């Protein structure tokens, strides 16, 4: 029993030190490891399997939305990057450069892609000539490099995995429609697969993507009350098209510039899963995204018939499309229980000689720790129902946490006090002035997370300066 307790005690309490709790779970659940390259991380099988499931399900949603996958080069010539002024200025501090090929200096520096807008623009300038060539709705799954000063597993690293969609359209209306469509798709994915509720809205001009006309975001609330930007969708208008001369001939034989969008999600979603659902026992994975949904643990497995029954259940689950595994190692059951809780397996099935004799097994839910005695007859159907219930309960729990940690403020002193004493989202009115946004960040450390699509009027005045308000904003400290 001491070993089992020790394993759990190795995780720092969430209440004691949330940052260390997060690091402990990443390490103990064996999601990643640190590499010899500072700021870069190694995905271990357990962590990469989560990303594979994210990629598989998100990609299926993309394809239903008419998205085609491509792959672009890793390197961007400096001259190409500099074609869009705002874009290059936004990324300049984070760019990594290649200056030599072998022993020879390059004639032109190559940027290691921080994002691929310029490459896609260069491609579209060659591909698009007529209205018949539009729209182009491309996406790539790749890694990007941003030379971050401060890194943290999954949330911020110098190289990370993501997808980036880039589209070209004939009209501004079509581009706006695609921008909103992909944001809504991201929100649906987070809520359906990750059991994470999000707030959808538009970023302020200060927070929008470099070179974009408008940036839209989904914002999630972590257990410690900090926000996490979980996906963004950008409307570029025709700014990039003019910089890269992406023109087409319309039906009236008139030259027009295309209108573009870009949208992306990254491996920081794994960090979101940890910080929204995890507890002091470890990781807690939503069944829809869990690489292993059910772990079968045989009790007194050396007894006749126990492993046979466990394997029978395993085959039955897998045949029904349930992702199941069997832990038949020689570790003690208590250690196995603690280990599977640490790894976030949604459901544990215990079966031993007495269970087999009674025609039952014990199912233990990771979300509630509830133990259920279930008949072995029709077990597969019951397990499928339990997994659906766990998924819904995890979403409901996360939604209740977000709603109970979302506050309204109409006076500035009240706003500052709420930010300091009640971690979470604070909704407050804003005049639209950048100076007020800057002051709020300076006074409280909070940033504007988004102007939600669902606007309500809390007051007529800006929370900061008292001038007439233009929009409701979600504010908060963020990762």
Q: What is the CATH number of the domain that holds 346?
A: 3.40.50.800
pLDDT score of 250 more than 80: yes
| Cα–Cα dist 152/23, whole Å | 9
Q: Indicate which CATH number applies to the domain containing 84.
A: 3.30.930.10
78: exposed, middle or buried (Cβ count in 10 Å: 0-12, 13-18, 19+): middle
Q: Is 319 exposed, middle or buried (0-12, 13-18, 19+ CB in 10 A)?
A: exposed
Check whether 8 has a pLDDT greater than 70.
no
In this structure, the answer to whether residues 84 and 209 fall within a common structural domain is yes
Cα separations in angstroms, 302 against 296, 305, 352: 15, 8, 10
The Cα 374–Cα 382 span in angstroms is: 8
> What is the token pair recorded at 255?
């030259």
Q: How many residues does the chain have?
A: 479
DSSP state of 15: T
Please identify which residue in the block is written with the tokens 């209306």.
173
The answer to whether residues 17 and 115 belong to one domain is yes
- What order do you get walking across the sheet with 96-101 strand by strand? 75-77, 104-112, 96-101
The domain that contains 435 carries what CATH number? Answer: 3.30.110.30
Gap between the Cα atoms of 72 and 77, Å rounded: 13
Where among 277, 312, 339 does a domain terminate?
A: 277
The range of the structural domain enclosing residue 437 comes to 406-476
Looking at the fold, whether 158 and 268 belong to one and the same domain comes out as: yes
- Residue 81 domain flag: yes
In eight-state DSSP terms, residue 94 is G
The number of beta carbons lying within 10 Å of the beta carbon of residue 9 is 11
Residues 100 and 242 in one domain: yes
Query: In this structure, are 338 and 470 located in the same domain?
Result: no
395 within a domain of the structure (yes/no): no
pLDDT, mean of residues 295-315? 95
Q: Residues 211, 251: one domain?
A: yes
Same structural domain, 213 and 329: no
**Count of the separate structural domains present in the chain:** 3
Q: Is residue 401 part of a domain?
A: no
In a domain, 245, yes or no: yes
What average pLDDT does range 379-400 have in this prediction? 98
How much is the pLDDT for 172? Answer: 98
- Helices vs. strands in the chain: H and E counts, helices first: 15, 23
Q: Is the pLDDT of residue 3 over 70?
A: no
Residue 413 shares a structural domain with residue 318 = no
In a domain, 256, yes or no: yes
Q: Is residue 78 part of a domain?
A: yes
272 and 298 share one domain = no
Structure tokens at 206: 């200060």
Domain boundary (349, 384, 419) is at 384
137 within a domain of the structure (yes/no): yes
pLDDT band at 6 (very low <50, low <70, confident <90, very high): low
Mean pLDDT throughout 180-197?
98
The verdict on residue 7 lying in a domain is no
198 and 333 inside one domain: no
Which pLDDT value is given to residue 1? 45
Residues 223 and 193 in one domain: yes
Q: What's the pLDDT at 91?
A: 80
| pLDDT tens-digit readout, 196-223 | 999 999 999 999 998 899 999 999 999 9
Domain end: 354, 384, 414, which one? 384
Question: pLDDT tens digits, residue range 113-159?
Answer: 999 999 999 999 999 999 999 999 999 999 999 999 899 999 999 99
Question: Within 13 Å, how many C-alpha atoms sit on residue 263's CB side?
Answer: 29
Same domain assignment for residues 57 and 177:
yes
């Amino acid at each position: 029993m001491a070993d089992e307790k020790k394993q759990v005690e190795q995780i720092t309490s969430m209440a004691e030190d949330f940052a260390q709790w997060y690091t402990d779970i990443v390490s103990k659940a064996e999601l990643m490891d640190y590499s010899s390259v500072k700021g870069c991380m190694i995905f271990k099988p357990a962590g990469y399997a989560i990303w594979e499931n994210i990629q598989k399900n998100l990609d299926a949603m993309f394809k239903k939305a008419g998205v085609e996958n491509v792959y672009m080069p890793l390197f961007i010539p400096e001259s190409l990057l500099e074609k869009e002024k705002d874009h290059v200025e936004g990324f300049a501090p984070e760019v990594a450069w290649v200056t030599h090929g072998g022993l020879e200096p390059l004639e032109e520096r190559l940027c290691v892609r921080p994002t691929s807008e310029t490459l896609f623009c260069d491609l579209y300038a060659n591909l698009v000539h007529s209205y018949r060539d539009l729209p182009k709705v491309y996406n790539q799954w790749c890694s990007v490099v941003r030379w971050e000063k401060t890194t943290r597993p999954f949330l911020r690293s110098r190289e990370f995995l993501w997808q980036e969609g880039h589209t070209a359209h004939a009209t501004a209306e079509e581009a706006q429609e695609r921008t909103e469509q992909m944001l809504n798709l991201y929100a649906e994915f987070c809520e359906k697969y990750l059991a994470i509720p999000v707030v959808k809205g538009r970023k302020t001009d200060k927070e929008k993507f470099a070179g974009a006309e408008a940036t839209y975001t989904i914002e999630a609330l972590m257990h410690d009350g900090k926000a996490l930007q979980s996906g963004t969708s950008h409307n570029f208008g025709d700014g990039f098209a003019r910089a890269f001369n992406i023109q087409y001939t319309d039906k009236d034989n008139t030259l027009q510039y295309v209108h573009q969008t870009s949208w992306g999600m990254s491996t920081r979603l794994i960090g979101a899963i940890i910080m929204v659902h995890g507890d002091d026992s470890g990781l807690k994975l939503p069944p829809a995204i869990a690489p292993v949904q059910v772990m079968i643990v045989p009790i007194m497995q050396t007894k006749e018939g126990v492993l046979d029954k466990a394997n029978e259940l395993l085959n039955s689950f897998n045949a029904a499309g349930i992702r199941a595994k069997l832990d038949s190692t020689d570790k003690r059951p208590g250690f196995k229980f603690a280990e599977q809780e640490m790894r976030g397996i949604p459901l544990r099935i215990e079966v031993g000689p007495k269970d087999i004799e009674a025609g039952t097994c014990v199912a233990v839910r990771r979300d509630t720790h509830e133990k259920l005695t279930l008949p072995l007859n029709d077990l597969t159907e019951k397990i499928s129902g339990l997994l659906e219930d766990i998924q819904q309960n995890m979403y409901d729990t996360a939604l209740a946490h977000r709603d109970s940690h979302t506050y309204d403020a109409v006076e500035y002193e009240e706003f500052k006090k709420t930010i300091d004493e009640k971690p979470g989202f604070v909704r407050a009115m804003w005049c639209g002035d950048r100076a007020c946004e800057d002051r709020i960040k300076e006074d409280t450390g909070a940033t504007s997370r988004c102007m939600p699509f669902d606007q309500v009027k809390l007051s007529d005045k800006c929370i900061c300066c008292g001038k007439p308000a233009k929009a409701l904003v979600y504010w908060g400290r963020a990762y």
